[in-house]
Amino acid sequence: MEQSFLAWLRGRVQSLPGVAVGIGDDAAVLDIPAGHQLIATTDAIIDGVDFLTHEHSLADIGYKSIAVNLSDIAAMGATPTAALVTLSLPSHDATRTAAGLYEGILECAMQYKIAIAGGDISVYEGPLSISVTLLGTVLTGQAWLRNGAKEGDAIVLTGPVGGSLLGRHLRPTPRIELAQQLSRLTTVHAAMDISDGLSLDLDRLCAASGVGAELDMSAIPVHPDAVTRSESGGGTTALSHALGDGEDFELILAIDSTECNDLLSSKPELGLHRIGTFVGRTGLWSKSGADLKRLSPSGFIHGQTRLTSK
């Protein structure tokens, strides 16, 4: 199966600058521009945890495998260049499964102008799993990290959150273009993408930076899907879904407060939301006027099952 499939795949992938040698050799050869550093991220998605093969299309699953890694590249303020894709396929109908997955993989790769430079395919008696290593570049010393948030910085969110499991989690929009715009417009002190939940990932960024966060709960942009989930029963509010659902793949940013206010007024088309302020007091805090209330972070804990069947 592997050789015939690879021959088909070589005819489908696009050739892009930066990849000197791609699919077909023992390893890929990549060119790194002078004055840049290499950014590398990897993530695996697994049937029953991140998707359900009996409910979700193979193309959507393949698309997600690339998009979630692109979100990590965006969170570093980097430009994506190439991906290495490893498929672990259930033995039943493996070739059809691989082809279906690659329809979504190639769609996402073409959309964000990245090359599929290599990877691996294995067939076994187990669940479908896709592991992607995504590579990118950033100007030397300019990568956004989690540990740079400063007391007084604005907490900025790139878009509405919550309710992604109604379907957005399969076709997320990694904030590559927006991150590149922000790199030119302002100085981002720290950044992180939201994969496990706004409050949980914000708490992790705070821990890395040694700060806390005061949140204006009324300023958090709640996605309509979060409202839909709250109205379907279960007693969870739309705001709680926004704080803890995860799989939103928006970015949390730390930006100087004055620069943030200038950016919000001068570039409203970017769709940024200031949702609070980083503070010296550790922990997450809900602020209403002069009143502060400790907020417990919520979200997906790895090792648990993220999805359940409808």
Give yes or no: residues 58 and 30 share one domain. yes
What pLDDT score does 291 carry? 84
Give yes or no: residues 105 and 35 share one domain. yes
What pLDDT score does 227 carry? 97
Total domains in the chain come to: 2
pLDDT, tens only, 130-140: 999 999 999 99
Q: How far apart are CA 44 and CA 231, in angstroms?
A: 32
Q: How far apart are CA 282 and CA 176, in angstroms?
A: 30
Give yes or no: residues 271 and 187 share one domain. yes
Is residue 301 domain-resident?
no
pLDDT, tens only, 260-275: 999 999 999 999 999 9
Mean pLDDT of 230-241: 91
Residues 6+ apart with CB under 8 A from 289: none
**230, 250, 243: which is closest to 300 by C-alpha?**
243
Q: How far apart are CA 52 and CA 43, in angstroms?
A: 17
Is residue 148 domain-resident?
no
Domain enclosing residue 160, as ranges: 154-295
Is residue 81 domain-resident?
yes
pLDDT, tens only, 85-102: 999 999 999 999 999 999
Q: How far apart are CA 228 and CA 224, in angstroms?
A: 6
pLDDT above 50: residue 38: yes
38 or 308, greater pLDDT: 38
**153, 182, 142, 146: which is closest to 269 by C-alpha?**
182
Decide: pTM greater than 0.95.
no
Is residue 66 domain-resident?
yes
Is the distance from CB of 278 to CB of 149 less than 8 angstroms? yes
pLDDT above 90: residue 19: no
CB count within 10 Å of CB 216 equals 15
Last residue of a domain, one of 89, 107, 139: 139
Residues 6+ apart with CB under 8 A from 215: 155, 275, 276, 284, 285, 286, 287, 295
Give yes or no: residues 174 and 282 share one domain. yes
Give yes or no: residues 19 and 59 share one domain. yes
**What are the residues facing 23 on neighbouring strands?**
25
Give yes or no: residues 110 and 83 share one domain. yes
Give yes or no: residues 101 and 73 share one domain. yes
DSSP state of 69: H
Mean pLDDT of 292-300: 91
Instruction: Give the CATH number for residue 179.
Output: 3.90.650.10
Give yes or no: residues 129 and 201 share one domain. no
Residue 309: pLDDT band with limits 50, 70, 90: very low
Give yes or no: residues 19 and 127 share one domain. yes
Instruction: Give the CATH number for residue 105.
Output: 3.30.1330.10
Residue 6: pLDDT band with limits 50, 70, 90: confident
Is residue 306 domain-resident?
no
As a whole-number percent, the residues of the chain with pLDDT over 90 amount to: 84
pLDDT, tens only, 144-185: 999 999 999 999 999 999 999 999 999 999 999 999 999 999
Q: Which of 55-59, 165-169, 223-227, 290-294 has the lowest mean pLDDT?
A: 290-294
pLDDT above 70: residue 1: no
Q: Report in angstroms the alpha-carbon separations of 244 from 19, 101, 180, 186, 227.
A: 39, 29, 27, 28, 13
Q: How far apart are CA 24 and CA 13, in angstroms?
A: 12
pLDDT above 70: residue 228: yes
What pLDDT score does 2 carry? 66
Give yes or no: residues 165 and 291 share one domain. yes
